[in-house]
Amino acid sequence: MRETTPSVRPRHAAGASSRGDGLFRGVILALALAIVVVFVLALYQLVAGSLPSIERYGFAFLFRTTWNNVTSEFGALPFIIGTLVTSFAALLIAVPLAIASAVFVTEYAPRWLAEPVGYLVELLAAIPSVIYGLWALFVLKPLVVQLGTWIFYQPWIVQNPSLKWLVPSNLAGLGLLTAILILAIMVIPYTASVARDVIRLVPQDQREAMYALGATKWEVIRSAILPFARAGIFGGVILSLGRALGETLAVTMVIGNDPKIVSGLFNPTATMSSIIASEFNEAVNNLQRSSLIEIGLLLFVISVIVNYVARLVIARITVGGTS
């Protein structure tokens, strides 16, 4: 009985669309899996490339402070410190500026000013890092040299043992401070644009609730808007941190690339990415190449850990979340 009736039903169409669905599902699944495969392969390559160095140094590699091409002694600590110090110091400078710019654009600036300012801040993210590097060499470096020179002639600093870290070891202007400053500028747009968006999303009734209690505009921003937006802003900070941890070229151009634990604010050092960029092509032997790859692996691991911790923090501070 059933075979006699279905001639009018759009059987072909149904069959085709379910075949199409299956195909689409397959393609999507393959693409999604490809991402996982790329991730795993990258990790595998890093681990495989690091094996000689891992076999040689083991865990101690993380804490070894020597990096010497001549004696073939390698250790990652100067670069781990360099990366962490430059990144977090850059955040310390960038985050207040970024939040201030977001607050200005959303709460203070008139519309005709807010849009171009917001757009320009975002445009900062589109500038290639080599341009930042050049700008740092031409503009920041001379300023850092001036500041370093000035400090050099301040006896109260130079002769004070507890301010030794402020005294430049040389006046080339290439070192930690220049790297921190250029990184700070580079990471501003990530926090700023995310903060701007989340501040715009703070419900009007939150602002009004605070105003109605007799708050000034600044108090509304501090006590109602920023707390409400804090999880989103923190997400933006993490984007900035990710950028700072991985930024290579601009930092390599200005940090001095001295593979030693940083000895002062003005002194040259290196970061994990800058040492890879500056030495990988000229690596003199297998162990050095492998050590550089292991530093890459560590950078990978640090980035993953930072992101994971960030997710935990965001989940905790999200408004209406399970706090």
Partner 1 sequence: MNPILRARQVNIYYGDKRAVRDIDLDIAPNTVNALIGPSGCGKTTFLRALNRMHDLTPGARVEGTITLDGEDIYGDVDPVSIRRRIGMVFQKPNPFPTMTVLDNVVAGLKLAGIRDRGTLLEVAERSLRQAALWDEVKDRLNTPATGLSGGQQQRLCIARALSVEPEILLMDEPTSALDPQSTARIEDLMSDLKKDVTIIIVTHNMHQAARVSDTTSFFLIGDLVEHGPTDQIFTNPRDERTESYVTGRFG
What residues line the site for partner 1 (CB under 8 A)? 203, 205-216, 219, 223-224, 227-228, 230, 317, 319-320, 323
Cα separations in angstroms, 30 against 17, 24, 25, 106:
20, 10, 8, 42
For tokens 């850990």, name the residue: 305
Question: Least distance from C-beta 212 to partner 1, angstroms?
Answer: 4
Structure tokens at 222: 């501090």
Q: Which is nearer to partner 1, 58 or 320 (CB)?
A: 320
Question: Least distance from C-beta 216 to partner 1, angstroms?
Answer: 6
**CA 143 to CA 173: how far, in whole Å?**
8
The type of residue at 153 is Y
DSSP assignment letter at 107: I
Q: Which is nearer to partner 1, 5 or 322 (CB)?
A: 322
Q: How many residues does the chain have?
A: 323
Q: Which is nearer to partner 1, 124 or 317 (CB)?
A: 317
Q: Which is nearer to partner 1, 161 or 320 (CB)?
A: 320
Question: Least distance from C-beta 200 to partner 1, angstroms?
Answer: 15
Q: Which is nearer to partner 1, 224 or 245 (CB)?
A: 224
Residue 144: in which H helix or E strand, if any?
helix 141-152
Question: Least distance from C-beta 219 to partner 1, angstroms?
Answer: 6
Question: Least distance from C-beta 215 to partner 1, angstroms?
Answer: 5
The type of residue at 242 is G
Cα separations in angstroms, 200 against 1, 7, 108, 215:
63, 57, 12, 19
